[in-house]
Amino acid sequence: MELNQNKVIDESRQGEPVVLETVNHSGKKLYVESYGCQMNFSDSEVVASIMTKEGYATTRNIDEADVVLINTCSIRENAEQRVRNRLTEFKHKKGQNPDLVVGILGCMAERLKKVLLEEEKLVDLVAGPDAYRDLPNLVEEVGTGQKAVNVLLSRDETYADISPVRLDQGGISAFVTIMRGCDNMCSFCVVPFTRGRERSRDPQTIVEECKDLFEKGYREVTLLGQNVDSYRWNLTSKGEIKDVNQPTTNFAQLIEMVAHISPNLRVRFSTSHPKDMTDEVLEIMAKYENICPYIHLPVQSGHTDVLTRMNRGYSREWYLDRINAIRKYMPDCAISTDIITGFCGETDKEHHDTISLMKEVQFDFAYMFKYSERPKTLAERRFDDDVPDAVKGSRLNEIIELQLQHSRLSNEKQIGKTVKVLIEGTSKRSDEKLCGRNGQNAMVVFPSQHYMKGQYVMVKILDCTSATLIGEAVSLCN
């Protein structure tokens, strides 16, 4: 998985838990809290669906829960520390309610199962990303006084037959998982070890889920995968057909199938990989107005030698070629990225090459991090984490300062334009204003007038900050 907490979720929730709630049916209550990337958020909705069928209602009030599950992230060290702190709080609650079942899900589950279960005694059960169907059995096993564990990885599990319980029943945007796992072995990343090998979901189940969402009032779907560009249904990683009696589908064909559901259903996706993004995908994006002209394309570093150490599978020149291709097909496409500073052995020149690439591309948005060595990764085994933390911090500050300038310039270019916005709800700062995103994924705030959540409106941009466009609605879209 890229070091990406994509702003499609909601930037106000970065690093914060996302909690599910549904209607109660039997008295048993489940509290689910999610951290990290969109995939964890989507997985928690699958978990809620599985447990709902067992009679559990999800709740936002942890004090009334019978089962507490926390869906975790191992991408960075501070993400793990937040989870540990939260589990310590749950342990205190368990002291007040000995029957409370506390479990950990997701990427930390496989990696730290022994520590969390036996040494620190913070949890009762551990379930890896491919073991969610077993959760009812695991909870039952805990009820017999046992510690319950299932972290087996699967080559087949996609949860394609499970209809997720949606976070927001009156929602506008939803995540739809199209594939699981990752076959890339980026040297800094734990995902191949925590989520297993790559496998794609049947495209018909994806289309049906998106249709159902549209019929329920959702107006935007984000197709999720660790590397969506490598989505292949009925194809091997070498492009060979698995079953000659079945149709084949690649990612470009899939997004076209979803775009056909309705012109009023926006389609987004995350995350793309530079080595796998094809012109075919860009052609399809340019063809359909409801496929949003926004691509998150993590670069990680602007120097080829660093990219080689990261095992990214492309060079600086290849990445810039993909940027040029995007702009050839969609001149107005917004591009965001991920950048890691201070990776093993990074020199001043290599850092400055990242700066020069940023200046050449001028990303609309970026997620920027100091390198954080993760256990079991290739980088831990092969390289020394030898860039001093103070140097990492200094380089990161330089990158952030430059990106803030570029984000501001990107938004300033929108002033005077009229853009199509999908209204997501009331602005956090004023009940008299609405907010939503344009196709390029920029947040737009404007006076509410008589418009409502879920409508498409044309908004004239009058001003901006580095993070937000400010305007006034001029008409409702048909």
Higher pLDDT, 194 or 281: 281
Whether the bond between 347 and the residue before it is cis, its omega within 30 degrees of 0, is no
The confidence score (pLDDT) of residue 209 equals: 96
pLDDT classification of 15: cutoffs 50, 70, 90: very low
| E runs forming strands in 410-467 | 418-426, 433-437, 443-447, 456-464
Query: Are 440 and 294 contacting, i.e. CB atoms less than 8 angstroms apart?
Result: yes
Buried-state track 277-305, b at ≥16 Cβ within 10 A, e below 16: beeebbebbbeeebbbbbbbbbbbbbbbb
Q: What is the mean pLDDT of residues 199-212?
A: 96
Residues 6+ apart with CB under 8 A from 270: 4, 6, 8, 38, 222, 223, 224, 225, 228, 296
The confidence score (pLDDT) of residue 16 equals: 47
- Residue ranges of domains in the chain, CATH in brackets: 11-150 (3.40.50.12160), 173-412 (3.80.30.20), 418-476 (2.40.50.140)
Of 1-15, 322-336, 374-388, the range with the highest mean pLDDT is: 322-336
pLDDT classification of 260: cutoffs 50, 70, 90: very high
**DSSP result, 171-204:** -SEEEEE-EE------TT--HHHHH-S-EEPPHH
* pLDDT one-digit tens code per residue, 142-181: 989 888 999 888 888 999 999 888 866 678 999 999 999 9
**Whole-number Cα distances in Å, 37 to 8, 91, 120, 259, 278:** 10, 25, 26, 24, 24
Buried-state track 184-205, b at ≥16 Cβ within 10 A, e below 16: bebbbbbbbbbbbebbbbbbeb
- Give the tokens for residue 42: 């989507």
**Whole-number Cα distances in Å, 410 to 207, 363, 403, 440, 466:** 34, 8, 10, 11, 8
Least confident among 21-30, 165-174, 307-316: 21-30
The confidence score (pLDDT) of residue 9 equals: 28
pTM higher than 0.85: yes
Higher pLDDT, 105 or 94: 105
Query: Are 360 and 311 contacting, i.e. CB atoms less than 8 angstroms apart?
Result: no
Q: Per-residue pLDDT for 96 more than 50?
A: yes
